[in-house]
Amino acid sequence: MKMSVLLKKSLVLVAALILAISVVSAHADGKPEKVTVIYGGSSWLGHYPAWVGIEKGLFKKYGLGVLFQNFYASSGRMGSLVAGDLDVASTGSISAIALMASGSKGFMAFGTQDSYATVEGIIAKENTKNIQDLKGKRIAAPFASSSHVLVLDILEQNGIDPDKDLDLVNLKVNEMPAAMGSGEIDACAAWTPHFNKLLNMPGNHMLVNDTEFSLYKKYKLGPGPDLLVVRKEFAEKYPNTCQAFVKGYFEAVDMLINQPEECAKVLVKLTNLSMEDQMTVLKDIAWIKGSEQKNLMVQPGGFVTGMQRLAEFLVRHKQIDSAPDVKRWIAGSMVP
Amino acid sequence: MKVDSTAKSLTISIVSLLIFIGAWELVCRLGFIEPLFMPPPSKILYRAMKLIDNGQLFVHTLASTRRVMVGFVVSSVVAIPFGIFLGSSRFFMAVFDPLISLLRPLPSMSWIPLSLLWLGITETQKYSIVFMGSFAPSLLYIIEATKGIDPLLIRAARNLGASKLDVMREVILPGSLPQIIAGLKVMLGIAWTCIISAELVAAREGLGFMIMNGKEYFQTDTVLLGMVMISITVMIIDVVFRKFERRLLPWTR
């Protein structure tokens, strides 16, 4: 009996030693210490590079297997990330800022992969010709999203009080076409692909898009820019794995810039869009290369400053209690 | 003697609650749990004070209470006569049983897409979610309560010349009412569980909205405050319900 316990303990010790040696040697070789990365995504355009990287074998080139986990909303994805179920993710920055404001130090940001100023905006019926016409009307936006922020900002710029001058309702983007069609709402704020669908409905027109957002005018920052995030513990424990992921990821970004049609062929599996619609969405995105990340993320560049202003905007509109110091969440070592 | 034992039970309950809250606060303060996952009670209290100060807590609680009460009262008004009718007629029970069996397991959330198509993004849509979430289970409670009446009593009343209406009024209704009321009390709790589903769409007030919006912004204290408010509101309504029950059914005291 005692022998068997001793044997078990010895085996566990040997296994732990082998694991430790392999991690240390992998670290020294520059090879990924961990060969599977769990990525949190969705069919939103911000996740295209991760999907292309997986489908085109770009991560595999660096010895990585990436497991793509789907989430409906950024908040669920970020919750899973800090709970330790995901290693890397892309998120809408409002969720990331809210999580920073909650005091969570469990994640870091290492890049921003795209900007999409023309695929999100406020769409209204014909009789609403300008922003002032929204007074007294019912306008829908998904609360706690970039579209909600866009509406609050545009109303603020035009001196309209969202609590008194109009009826602002909380509606999911996929429920907007039916509500607009039935006349229950007069205007709505949405993002692609529902944005295009709403825009193409007869009698609808675009009032404003993200280019009218106050921070876009100053910092080229949309109301909820995409942000690449990593679990802090993961980044500290597996630096080579993170570097390999970053390399594969930004090669996918390059591929999206240089071979959009090739990428669209694999993206339709994720988005369920037609090839034609997929190409239209791709044309609206400006991808940000790996070589441009340092200027945006580390300097700190316009992106980090813009994010800080966005956090202050959220505080001003009573969405979060206090603005975090955004630059403290930047993982400088992972920025390519 | 009875007063003494009630006071003793109440004291034990209050002390146990205080110990629980104290332990929770201590565990959080010592850093065993990250505040994001479980904020301390003091933080929840601070959030409550802030929302009381700007009036938001009252607005959210009132909105949800209104939605629950309208949905629940309409559901009860329909379910009580229909349930008694089905419970006292084997034929009609056989006719409606398959439909009730189909409706009973459906969660309130599954009614959202249909209710949106039928009623749009209105308050009626929110009432309908509470109604659909509580109707079928209420109906089953009432049917079972009606079926539970001793058939000997019904036969005896009939032999004494009572009409069908008399039997319903004098035997079935008073006999089943205590169980119906007990069932409705349980159903009121279930109606409150529908509030999250009811306030998922096109709501900007209500405890369900407060919880879901708090979740989006990782404000766990707001989420927990919303949950606590639902429990407190249900407890208050339960006390009112008991008083009403004592007046309506004095023989059950």
Distance from CA of A128 to the nearest CA of B (A): 21
With contacts defined as CB-CB under 8 Å, which chain A residues touch B36? 82, 99, 102-104, 106
With contacts defined as CB-CB under 8 Å, which chain B residues touch A182? 120
Interface contact B218-A78, CB threshold 8 A: yes
Interface contact A178-B117, CB threshold 8 A: yes
Predicted TM-score of the model (pTM): 0.85
DSSP state of A169: E
Q: What is the pLDDT of residues A10-49, one digit of tens each?
A: 666 666 666 555 555 555 567 899 999 999 999 999 999 9
Interface contact B216-A75, CB threshold 8 A: yes
Query: Which of 112-151 (A) contact B at CB < 8 A?
Result: 140, 143-144
> How many domains does chain B contain in total?
1
| Sign of CA pseudo-dihedral A15, A20, A25, A31 | positive
Average pLDDT over residues B179-199: 90
Average pLDDT over residues A296-315: 91
CA distances from residue B241 to A50, A184, B3, B63, B181 in whole angstroms, order as listed: 56, 37, 22, 20, 9
Domain presence at residue B17: no
Domain presence at residue B193: yes
Domain presence at residue B18: no
Query: Mean pLDDT across chain A, nearest whole number?
Result: 91
Q: pLDDT class for A299, splitting at 50, 70, 90?
A: confident
Domain presence at residue B10: no
Interface contact A103-B219, CB threshold 8 A: no
Average pLDDT over residues A209-227: 91
Q: What is the pLDDT of residues A51-64, one digit of tens each?
A: 999 999 999 999 99
Interface contact A175-B116, CB threshold 8 A: yes
CATH of the domain at B175: 1.10.3720.10
What ipTM was reported for this prediction?
0.84
Domain presence at residue B36: no
DSSP state of B169: I
Tokens 């692609």, located at residue = A192
Domain that holds residue B154: 41-248
Identify whether the C-beta of residue A192 lies closer than 8 Å to the C-beta of residue A58.
no
Q: What is the pLDDT of residues B64-84, one digit of tens each?
A: 999 999 999 999 999 999 999
Interface contact B201-A143, CB threshold 8 A: no
Q: Which residue of A has its CA nearest to B117?
A: A178
pLDDT at A23: 52
Domain presence at residue B142: yes
pLDDT at B241: 86
Identify whether the C-beta of residue A90 lies closer than 8 Å to the C-beta of residue A229.
yes
Interface contact B36-A101, CB threshold 8 A: no
Domain presence at residue B95: yes
Domain presence at residue B35: no
Q: What is the pLDDT of residues B98-114, one digit of tens each?
A: 999 999 899 999 999 99
Q: What is the pLDDT of residues B131-174, one digit of tens each?
A: 999 999 999 999 999 998 888 998 899 898 888 889 888 898 88
Q: Is any Cβ of chain B less than 8 angstroms from the Cβ of A317? A: no
pLDDT at B128: 96
Cα B248 from Cα B72, distance rounded (Å): 19
pLDDT at A193: 82
pLDDT at A24: 53
pLDDT at A265: 97
Percent of chain A with pLDDT over 70: 91
Distance from CA of B219 to the nearest CA of A (A): 7
Encode burial over A136-165: b for 16+ CB neighbours within 10 A, e otherwise: ebbbbbbbbbbbbbbbbbbbeeeebebeeb
Interface contact A319-B217, CB threshold 8 A: yes
- Provide the phi-psi class of A203: left if phi over 0, else alpha when psi is between -120 and 50, else beta: left
With contacts defined as CB-CB under 8 Å, which chain B residues touch A179? 120-121, 202
pLDDT at A284: 84
Q: Which residue of A has its CA nearest to B113?
A: A175
Interface contact A184-B121, CB threshold 8 A: yes
Count the neighbouring beta carbons within 10 Å of the beta carbon of residue A83: 13
